[in-house]
Structure 1
Amino acid sequence: MFTGIVQATCQVVSIHKQAGLKTFEVEMTPELTQGLVTGASVANNGVCLTVTKVVNDKVFFDVMEETLALTNLGQLSVGDAVNIERSLTYGTEIGGHIISGHVHTQATVKAVSNTAEHYNIELQVDPHWMNYIFYKGFVGINGCSLTVGKISEDGFILHLIPETLKLTNLGHYKAGDKFNIEIDSQTQVIVDTVERVLAKKQLLNN
């Protein structure tokens, strides 16, 4: 489990292609690798990955073909920066919202508006997933816990503060790029339950 509070952006220093997967080598800070062991879970751009090896602050992850196809990890190149968060430790402050690291879909960047007054990113999402995204609701974007600023039929807008841009890789993205999206699980359960109840009621009335 994770909180959606990105701890650092870290560079991908190598990618090794193997049968059915790719091995990513990510260079982290000593603070992030302290106590990190093989088998631990680390969110990379919001994707929960298992540590396979740690060598001198270089952390290795094996990423299967399905994960590469369903997330933006498949588009990563050597030198790219990924948002990193270690697993949630109970007893510490939770500043975001609980996310699982299981990406539901990807969103395409439609436009970026960067002015002296604001930094907005407009995203387009498959209409199915818009059923779970609400104005002022939470959504995981590349592992960042963010509040939805505005919604439309096929997407939504994020209003980003300078601190978020400084601590994450969100400011590196441009029109046409894709973000990993994790919707709020509680919202999904509520929406799906209401839809089932209404569908059952309509069936009974017919």
Structure 2
Amino acid sequence: MFTGIVQGMGTVVAVEEETQFRRHIVSFPEGMVDGLETGASVSHNGCCLSVTRIEGDQVSFDLMRETLRLTNLGALSVGDQVNLERAARIGDEIGGHSMSGHVICQAALEELDEAPNNRRLWFAMPEVHARFLFEKGYIGVDGISLTIGAVDGARFCVDLIPETLSRTTLGERVLGEWVNIEIDPQTQAIVETVERVLASRSAE
């Protein structure tokens, strides 16, 4: 489980390509590898990945074909940065919202509104997932716990403060780029349960 509070940005220092498989080696910020062990879960742009090797501050992750299909990780190159969060532990402060690290889809950055000390980003999701969007609801964007500011069909916006912009990759995102999306698990469960109930009643 994760909280959506990014603990630091890592830099991709190596990429190893194989058939429908990738290995990323990421340089972690100072102190983030303390106590980290092989097999531990780390959120990597919002995608839960397992640590496969640790060499100093450089940590390796294996990416399978489903991960490459659903997320933006397959587009990363050496030098790119990623949002990192280690798995939450019992007793940790939950500053964001409960997140699983299971990316449901990607969304494209379609509109960017700059203002003093603010940045509003509009993203477009696949229509099939629009039913999970609610104004003031939670959403995970590249592993960051955010509150939806407004919804327009399959589009939604988030408003970012300077702290979020400086601590995460969203400060560098440009139009046309893709981000990983995780729907709030409680919202998804409620929506899908209501859909099933309504479908069963209509079939009677």
Q: Distance in 2 between matches of 1:40 and 1:176?
A: 33
Shift of 1:198: 1.3
Correspondence for 1:34: 34
Deviations along 1:169-204, whole A, 9 cap, x unmatched?
Answer: 011111111010000111111111111111222222
Counterpart of 1:158 in structure 2: which amino acid? V
**SS where residue 33 of structure 1 aligns?**
coil
Could you list the runs of 5+ residues in structure 1 that have no partner in the other structure?
none
Gaps of 5+ in 2: none
Superposition RMSD in Å: 1.0
Q: Runs (4+) of structure 1 moved beyond 4 Å?
A: none
Aligned length: 204
Mapped to 1, the partners of 2:162 and 2:93 lie a distance apart of: 22
Read off the aligned partner of 1:121 and give its amino acid letter. Answer: L
Normalising by the residue count of structure 1, what TM-score does the alignment of the two structures yield? 0.96
- Deviation of 1:28 after TM superposition, in Å, equals 0.6
2:201 is aligned with 1:201: yes
> Which residue type is aligned with residue 184 of structure 1?
D
Cα deviation for residue 9 of structure 1 reads 0.8
Between the aligned residues of both structures, percent identity stands at 46
Which residue does the alignment assign to 1:48?
48
Q: Which position in structure 2 is the counterpart of 1:67?
A: 67
Structure 1 residue 117, shift from structure 2 partner = 5.6
CA separation in 1, counterparts of 2:126 and 2:19? 31
Looking at structure 2, the residues matched to 196 and 17 of structure 1 have their Cα atoms a distance apart, in angstroms, of 41
Tell me which amino acid in the other structure corresponds to 1:154: A
Cα-to-partner distance string for 1:45-69 (whole Å, 9 max, x where unaligned): 0000110100011000111122112
**What do residues 106-164 of structure 1 show as CA deviations (whole Å, max 9, x unaligned)?**
00110111122631101001111111110000000000000000100121011111110
2:20 maps to amino acid: G
- Whichever residue aligns with residue 9 of structure 1, its letter is M
Matched, 1:173 2:173: yes
- Report if the CA contact (8 A) 1:111-1:174 is conserved: no
- TM-score (structure 2 length as normaliser): 0.97
